[in-house]
Amino acid sequence: MKFAVSSAAVAVSLVALVPGALTAAVAKNKSPTAGRNIEVTKEMLEVSVVGGQTFRAPQVLNTGFMQQGRGPRAMAKAYAKFGLQIPPELLLLLEEILLSLGITPGSGGIAGGSGSSGSSGSSGSSGSSGSAGGNASTDAGQGMVAAIPQMFDAEYLAQVTIGTPPQTLNLDFDTGSSDLWVFSSETPKAQQGGQKLYNIAASTTAKVLAGATWNIRYGDGSSSSGDVYLDTVSVGGVTVQNQAVESAKQVSASFSSDAASSGLLGLAMNSINQVQPTPQKTFFSNAMADLAMPLFTANLKKSEAGNYNFGFIDTTEFKGSLSFIDANITNGFWQFESGGFSVGNSSTATITSFPHQAIADTGTTLLFLPDGIVNAYYGQIRSAVNSQAAGGFIFRCDEALPNLTLAIGSYNAVVLGGFMNLAPTSTKDASGAQMCFGGVQSSAGFPFSIYGDVFFKSQFVVFHGGNTQLGFAPKA
């Protein structure tokens, strides 16, 4: 049933998909051909009463966020998240960052640990073999990653309530993992860093999931682990009862250092959930049947809080039409193929063919791409240099940076050059000019490219669980 609203109301209302409109468009255009896009115009996304629920999850500022060392931190976090061995030169750089912050390398970390040989990767990996030996050793310097403040990475968080009566926690929404884990009343005080805790005993609806445990191993040898409770979880007014909540009984110090973040809410596929012996469903998977449409959108922004919308698409948040492409969920991620790229600000630039597999990951800061694309991009920046001392590609902070266009099927996603300047480094060039860390870095060593927050700040992205598709459009 349609309803009339004023133009003023439309601007703030929840805009929901007309029942079946997107599904019909998909059915009409569905093709087994990889890279085939489905265009959905704004006219197909009308204001309607559709039944089912919709909600907006606005982000909130992490008041502990710091810029210092942000580039190397983001690099190390990505290596650790996907169970990869962190390069020795990056470890040395991180040691310098720790010392500059007054943190002793290895403190609270995993020096002397047994490493992660044969580990199954992190919450973001899907059974990847991990790194033989990991980075842990009897050398204290090898344990340093676990002690670096997580505040460098999670600039914005989102509010989630758990339990009865509801307890509000700020969590990091992550489309590259599938666990909902939190600091809790079971977390040792020595591993707490001022986080708001999930008080299990205070919730009348909490019940232990007998025999269930979780253990997320990272590429630096550190880990987070604990047991599992079923409890009521709400985000933006949508409630899931008996949601698996992973209670941390042991936490890597990299998470303990961030007082503002109480944990993680994973939004990837159920298959890579780390609960044993039986993987548990994500919040989104459990909530899908009650949503007006089985999807959520990510509208992340630069230097300000963005939002996630569940069950509806807000047409005021993007320009033009949405371009949908099939997601490959075999490995548990929102994975897709990109066909090529171009560098520069011309809208008519020719796309250079460079096929590569990628995942859409809001839990990774940087944009990790194949060397051929990264080298082509920085080849257009006069002062750019791949610096071991800085941990990756850097350039003068006053450089005017070109756009990077990435072809996703027939859709060309433009990543604005202004978003490629991640943060200042401690490095200066020969003239004394400040150097900044690049937002795009090499994906060498990763099993796929990672389209992280640098990409999301230019693109409005739809994660359609019902059709296992991704939709892209330029931000409004």
231 is catalytic: no
Tell me if 241 sits within 8 A of 205, measured CB to CB: yes
Residue 446 near residue 335, CB atoms below 8 Å: no
Strands 295-299 and 421-428: unpaired
Annotated catalytic residue within 231, 326, 361, 453: 361
Element holding 424 (H helix, E strand) = strand 421-428
Per the CB < 8 A criterion, the answer to whether 391 and 428 are in contact is no
Sign, CA torsion 66/426/220/446: positive
Q: Which of 174, 179, 231, 453 is catalytic?
A: 174
Concatenating the DSSP letter of every residue in 172-233 gives EEETT---EEEEBTTS-GGG--SPPPB-STT-TT-EEEEEEEEEEE-TTS-EEEEEEEEEEE
The DSSP code for 291 is B
Question: Quick check: is 174 catalytic?
Answer: yes
CA distances from 368 to 17, 88, 272, 453 (A): 33, 19, 21, 10
Residue 103 · residue 208 · CB < 8 Å: no
Closest to 150 (Cα-Cα) out of 174, 119, 126: 174
Q: Which of 146, 143, 163 is nearest to 250 (CA)?
A: 146
Cβ neighbours of 51 (radius 10 Å): 10
Known catalytic residues are: 174, 361
